[in-house]
C-alpha cells in the first residue's frame, strides 16, 4: 500500500524545507506559479475538490437514502441493472411509485449511486483522519526527537519509530483489528467508536514517516542562526519548538501529508474490502467491492465496476496533487515536469 514509499526512505530530502521567515509571500507566489504551470496537478486539484465537495454534501447529492432497500419490479431481481425503475413502498408495504436506479442496485436492492456517494464520504473521513492522526503524533514525536538530538530522548523515540516501521502498513492494522475485533470496542463504560479505531490502526504505521521528515527538518532548522539568537535571548525550549521551528517546518509536513493521502485512501479501502474496516449497514466502497465479488460470475458487473472506479479516481487525484506539490517545491526542479 505504500504507493508513496519512495519518498519515505529519503526522509528530509523528500520534501524541501520551508524557507526562512520574511520571504514567505514571494516564496508562495513562486510556488503557485510553478504549480499552476503543471496541467496534471491542476487536474488532480479539481478531482480532489470535486470528491471533497461530494463527500461534504452527500445528503443533498445522493438521490436516495443509502440504506433504503427497494423492491425489484416484475422480471427483475437484486442486484438490479442500471436504469431499472425500482418500486417505492410506503411504511405499510404498499407500492406507491417508482424511481430510477441510475447505477443499478446492490444485492439488498439499495441504490448503488447513493451508496457510492455516502461511501466516498466515509472514505474521505477515514483517510483524512488517518493522515491527520499520523501527522499530529509524528510531527510531535519528530520535533521532540530533533530538538533533543543525540540524547536518550531522541534515541528512545526514534527506536520506537523503527519498530513501528517494521510492520508492513496493512499487517499491523489487520493484527490490531483481528485482536480487538471489528466494530466498536467497550472499555468499561467507555466505548471506542469503530471509525476512530479504524483511523488509529491505519494511521499508526504512518507516524514514523512523519516523525522522520519532521526530525530531519528540525535538525536543519536548528543550524539556523535565529535559533541561537532566540536561545541567547532566553527563550524556553517549548517556545522555540512551537513558535519558531514548528511554524517554519509546517509547509514541508503538509506536502508530506498530501503525498500520503493516496496511500491512506488505498489502505482504508483495502481494510474495508477485507471486512475489517467500516461495518455494514454503513456505506463503504471497499465493502461494496467485497460484496460484489459474489456477483462476478452471474454478470452483475456494475456492482464491482463503479465503486472501484471512484476509489481509483480519488487515489489518482491525490497522487497527481501530491506529485504537483512536490515538484513545485523542489529546488532541483528545472521548471519542467520531472
Partner 1 sequence: MSRFVLKRLLLSIPVLLGVSVVVFALVHLAPGGPVRVMLGPLSNEELVRQIRLEMGLNRPLYVQYGMWVFDALQGDFGVSWTVQQGTPVTDIIVERIPLTVELSILSMITAVLIAIPAGIISAVRKDKPADHAARIAALSGISIPDFWLGIILIMIFAVQFSFPWATGGWTPPWVDPVANLQQLFLPVITLGTAYSALIARMMRSEMLDTLSQDYVKTARAMGIGAREIVLKDASKNALIPVVTVIGVGLGQLMNGAILTETVFNLPGIGKLLILAIDRRDYRIIQALILFIASVFVFANLAVDVLYAYLDPRIRHDGN
Chain contacts with partner 1 (rule: CB under 8 A): 1-3, 5-6, 8-9, 159-160, 162-163, 166-172, 174-181, 185-187, 262, 266-267, 269-270, 273-276, 286, 289, 292-293, 296-297, 299, 301, 304-305, 308, 311-312, 315-316, 319-320, 323, 336-338
User: Which residue lies nearer to partner 1 by CB, 147 or 260?
Assistant: 260
User: Which residue lies nearer to partner 1 by CB, 176 or 222?
Assistant: 176
Q: Is the dihedral of CA 174, 179, 182, 186 positive or negative?
A: negative
Exposed/middle/buried for residue 192 (C-beta within 10 Å: 0-12, 13-18, 19+) = middle
What span, in angstroms and rounded, lies between the C-alpha atoms of 203 and 268? 10
For residues 26 and 262, is the Cβ–Cβ distance under 8 A? no
Minimum distance of partner 1 from residue 175's CB (angstroms): 5
Minimum distance of partner 1 from residue 222's CB (angstroms): 22
- Please work out, in degrees rounded to the nearest 5, the angle formed at the alpha carbon of residue 42 by the alpha carbons of 288 and 217: 90
User: Which residue lies nearer to partner 1 by CB, 164 or 230?
Assistant: 164
Minimum distance of partner 1 from residue 211's CB (angstroms): 15
User: Which residue lies nearer to partner 1 by CB, 122 or 248?
Assistant: 122
Minimum distance of partner 1 from residue 10's CB (angstroms): 9
User: Which residue lies nearer to partner 1 by CB, 70 or 206?
Assistant: 206
Task: Tell me which H or E stretch contains 100.
Answer: strand 95-101
User: Which residue lies nearer to partner 1 by CB, 83 or 178?
Assistant: 178
Minimum distance of partner 1 from residue 334's CB (angstroms): 9
What span, in angstroms and rounded, lies between the C-alpha atoms of 10 and 209? 10
Residue 204 makes CB contacts below 8 A (sequence gap 6+) with 133, 134, 164, 172, 173, 176
Minimum distance of partner 1 from residue 289's CB (angstroms): 6
What span, in angstroms and rounded, lies between the C-alpha atoms of 36 and 31? 9
What span, in angstroms and rounded, lies between the C-alpha atoms of 109 and 79? 6
Helix (H, G, I), strand (E, B) or coil at 81: coil
Minimum distance of partner 1 from residue 309's CB (angstroms): 8
What span, in angstroms and rounded, lies between the C-alpha atoms of 3 and 263? 6
User: Which residue lies nearer to partner 1 by CB, 66 or 262?
Assistant: 262
Amino acid at each position: 500500500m505504500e504507493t508513496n514509499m519512495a519518498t519515505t526512505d529519503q526522509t528530509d530530502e523528500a520534501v524541501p524545507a520551508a524557507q526562512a521567515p520574511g520571504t514567505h509571500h514571494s516564496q508562495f507566489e513562486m510556488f503557485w506559479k510553478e504549480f499552476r504551470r503543471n496541467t496534471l496537478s491542476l487536474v488532480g486539484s479539481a478531482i480532489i475538490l470535486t470528491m471533497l465537495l461530494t463527500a461534504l454534501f452527500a445528503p443533498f447529492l445522493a438521490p436516495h437514502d443509502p440504506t433504503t432497500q427497494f423492491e425489484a419490479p416484475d422480471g427483475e431481481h437484486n442486484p438490479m441493472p442500471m436504469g431499472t425503475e425500482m418500486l417505492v413502498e410506503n411504511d405499510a408495504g404498499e407500492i406507491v411509485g417508482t424511481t430510477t436506479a441510475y447505477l443499478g442496485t446492490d444485492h439488498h436492492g439499495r441504490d448503488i449511486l447513493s451508496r457510492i456517494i455516502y461511501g466516498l464520504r466515509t472514505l474521505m473521513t477515514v483517510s483524512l483522519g488517518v493522515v491527520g492522526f499520523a501527522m499530529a503524533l509524528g510531527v510531535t514525536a519528530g520535533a521532540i526527537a530533533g530538538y533533543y538530538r543525540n540524547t536518550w530522548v531522541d534515541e528512545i523515540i526514534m527506536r520506537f519509530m523503527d519498530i513501528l516501521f517494521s510492520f508492513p502498513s496493512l499487517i499491523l492494522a489487520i493484527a490490531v483489528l483481528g485482536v480487538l475485533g471489528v466494530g466498536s470496542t467497550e472499555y468499561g463504560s467507555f466505548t471506542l467508536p469503530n471509525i476512530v479505531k479504524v483511523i488509529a490502526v491505519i494511521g499508526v504505521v504512518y507516524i514514523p514517516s512523519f516523525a522522520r521528515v519532521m526530525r530531519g527538518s528540525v535538525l536543519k532548522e536548528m543550524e539556523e542562526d535565529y535559533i541561537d539568537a532566540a536561545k541567547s535571548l532566553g527563550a524556553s525550549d517549548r517556545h522555540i519548538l512551537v513558535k519558531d521551528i514548528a511554524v517554519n517546518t509546517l509547509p514541508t509536513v503538509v506536502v508530506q501529508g498530501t503525498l500520503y493521502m493516496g496511500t491512506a485512501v488505498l489502505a482504508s479501502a483495502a481494510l474495508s474490502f477485507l471486512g475489517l474496516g467500516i461495518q455494514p449497514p454503513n456505506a463503504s466502497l471497499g465493502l461494496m467491492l467485497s460484496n460484489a465479488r459474489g456477483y462476478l460470475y452471474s454478470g452483475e458487473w456494475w456492482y464491482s465496476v463503479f465503486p472501484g472506479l471512484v476509489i481509483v479516481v480519488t487515489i489518482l487525484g491525490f497522487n497527481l496533487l501530491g506529485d504537483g506539490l512536490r515538484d513545485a517545491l523542489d529546488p532541483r526542479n528545472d521548471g519542467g515536469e520531472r
